[in-house]
Structures are given as C-alpha cells and as structure tokens.
Amino acid sequence: MAAYLRPTTEAEALAALAHGRLTVLAGGTDYYPSRVGKPLTDDILDISAIAELRGIGEQADHWRIGATTTWSELIAAELPPLFDGLKLAAREIGGVQIQNAGTVAGNVCNASPAADGVPPLLALDARVEIADTAGSRSVALADFILGNRRTLLRPEQLLTAILIPKPAHAARSHFLKLGARKYLVVSIVMVAATLEVEAGRVSAARIAVGAASAVAQRLPLLEAALTGKRCDAKLGEHASADHLAPLAPIADVRASPEYRLDAGLTLLRRALGELGARA
Ligand SMILES: Cc1cc2nc3c(=O)[nH]c(=O)nc-3n(C[C@H](O)[C@H](O)[C@H](O)COP(=O)(O)OP(=O)(O)OC[C@H]3O[C@@H](n4cnc5c(N)ncnc54)[C@H](O)[C@@H]3O)c2cc1C
C-alpha cells in the first residue's frame, strides 16, 4: 500500500524526502487530475500542513511567497501594484475552488507550458528557493524550468518559496490571457508585463509570454525597445512581430502557431497600452 506522509515542519519534510522516493503534494489540483483512471500507487508527501511554508512575507529587498500559499491567499493579500499582474493571473486560474486549493509554487513545479503563473512571475524577475537536508539556495525562475514538465528539482528537494525582488522605481504590472472562453480554460496564449516608471518614462520593462513555447519566455528586444519611452496609452505601438522572435509556438487543438503569435502580439500591445495609460 502507498504511504501518505503529512509533516508539520519543513525539517520533517526534508528528512522524509532524503530518506526515500516520495511525490510532493501541495493542493493536488495538478497531481490528482493527472492520475485519473490510474491506480494511486505513489508514496505521497503532503506539504499542506507545514505552517512555516504558508503566506507572503515582506523583507527589506524582496517578498517571499511560501510554497503552500494558495492562489486565493495571494488574491487576498495586501500587495503593491507590482503584483497586479500576478493577481490577475490568480483570478483566472480555474475557478474559486481551484484557487482555494492550488498553490503558486505547485503551478511553477508542474512546469506546464500553459501555466498561467509563470509569465507574471518571470515579469517579476522571480527566483525560487530550493531546499534539501544540506541547506537551501535560490535560482532564477527562468533557469528553474527546463522544459515541458521539467524543472531543476531533484527528488530529495522541495521548492520552499518564490522570491520577488523589490524594483528600483515605482512599478506596476499587468496580465492578459486568451482562452477559448473566459473561465476554466487552458490558455491559448498569455502575456505579462512589468514596467518601472520614472518621471513619466519607462526605466525598466520586463515582458513575458506563455503558452507560445515549451517554457514561457521573456522578450529582451521588446524590453530594450520600451526602455526610455514615454509611458502613455500609446506604449503598445512600440511592440512589433520581430520582438516575438524567442517564441516557438506549437500547433495543437487550441490554436495554430501563426494564430498564437498574432494573438500574442495583439495582447502585448493591449497590455502595454493599458499599463502605459495607468502610469
Ligand atoms: C479544473 C482545473 C482548472 C485549472 N485551471 C488552471 C488555469 O486556468 N491555469 C493554470 O495555470 N492552471 C490551472 N489548473 C492547474 C492547477 O490548478 C495549478 O497549476 C495549481 O497552481 C497547481 O498547484 P497545486 O498546489 O494544486 O499543485 P499539485 O497538484 O499539488 O502539484 C503539482 C506538481 O508540483 C509538484 N509540487 C508542488 N509543490 C511542490 C513543492 N513545494 N516542491 C516540489 N514540488 C512541488 C508536485 O509534486 C506535482 O508534480 C487547473 C486545474 C484544474 C483541476
């Protein structure tokens, strides 16, 4: 019979992971649907009762989103406009029941190309904290996700937190998702943008697009093109098809590659225009 462990401290969880092969379970909203029709034979390490991994804390130079923080907890948290994009993504993850159980970290660890949390976190320059019994370290989210459902995590490791650095200037962010309908839908393409603004001009831009490559991608050429530009409703006009070069969309039941690129550019222009108008 499969084991089911539910430790209450991070140390117990890491010791259990060091001891034997276990499948980490947070909200289970990715794990259980992927097992429908199959026997539940995995030995499970349920981390949902580890209080020290829950919640969002503010430090001098970053925010820390604990590994068991749910989407609903993120939506309810008092956070600056920098987090608006991540909160918009949170409100579009499944429905309220999924947001109540599913975690931000679980979305990242599952590493789906269509994970709605990943583009806004890339646009926040997020890092992830990885721990095992030997200690912990942080790596850039962009380096953590290696491919479709593949991450840097080793079997004895836990992702313990997502770290968001504080920007140099006033910053705000946005997220737009295109699906075949408004809710409970896998994204065809989604875009996230963070702008730092100083004296009415963009001092730094971080832009990411998801569901248009195996791993969501930042668009460095567009970020460079936006830097120094006046922040107004016309900001989206600086985005062009060339800026989407890092993307490599696939054809699937939801859309063709051409449609994904076209829709991605439209969403980018809209998101930048809306962000620019708000600054
Ligand atoms: C009806 C429905 C609708 C959905 N809609 C959306 C949507 O619109 N957008 C979207 O992006 N997703 C959606 N999802 C997917 C899912 O809800 C999210 O990805 C959610 O954030 C996953 O979090 P979780 O805590 O439930 O992960 P789990 O299912 O608990 O875990 C997911 C994976 O990550 C691993 N893992 C989890 N936490 C850790 C950790 N701390 N350390 C190491 N490994 C870990 C697990 O081992 C597992 O492989 C939907 C799911 C359902 C069932």
pLDDT digits (tens, 9 = 90+) for 236-265: 999 999 999 999 998 888 889 999 999 999
Residue nearest to atom 5 of ligand 1 (CA): 94
**Lookup result for tokens 């309810």:** 76
Query: If you average pLDDT over every residue of the chain, what do you get?
Result: 96
Residue nearest to atom 40 of ligand 1 (CA): 159
In this prediction the pTM is 0.97
Core vs surface per residue 80-111: b (16+ CB within 10 A) or e:
ebbbbbbbbbbbbbbeeebbebbbbbbbbbbb
| Single-letter amino acid code for the residue at 209 | V
**pLDDT tens, 195-238?**
999 999 999 999 999 999 999 999 999 999 999 999 999 999 99
Kindly give the number of the ligand 1 atom that is closest to the alpha carbon of 103: 25
What is the position in ligand 1's atom list of the atom closest to the CA of 160?
41
Q: How far is it, in rounded angstroms, from Cα 105 to Cα 160? A: 8
Taking CB atoms and a 6 Å cutoff, what residues make up the pocket around ligand 1? 23-31, 33, 47, 67, 92-94, 98, 101-103, 105-107, 109-110, 115-117, 153, 158-159, 184
Cα distance between residue 134 and residue 158, in whole Å: 12
Q: Which residue out of 5, 21, 30, 73 has the highest number of ligand 1 atoms within 8 Å of its CB and is therefore the one to mutate?
A: 30
Tell me what the mean pLDDT of segment 96-104 comes to: 97
Residue whose Cα lies nearest atom 33 of ligand 1: it is 110
CB 166 within 8 A of CB 192: no
Q: What span, in angstroms and rounded, lies between the C-alpha atoms of 212 and 113? A: 8
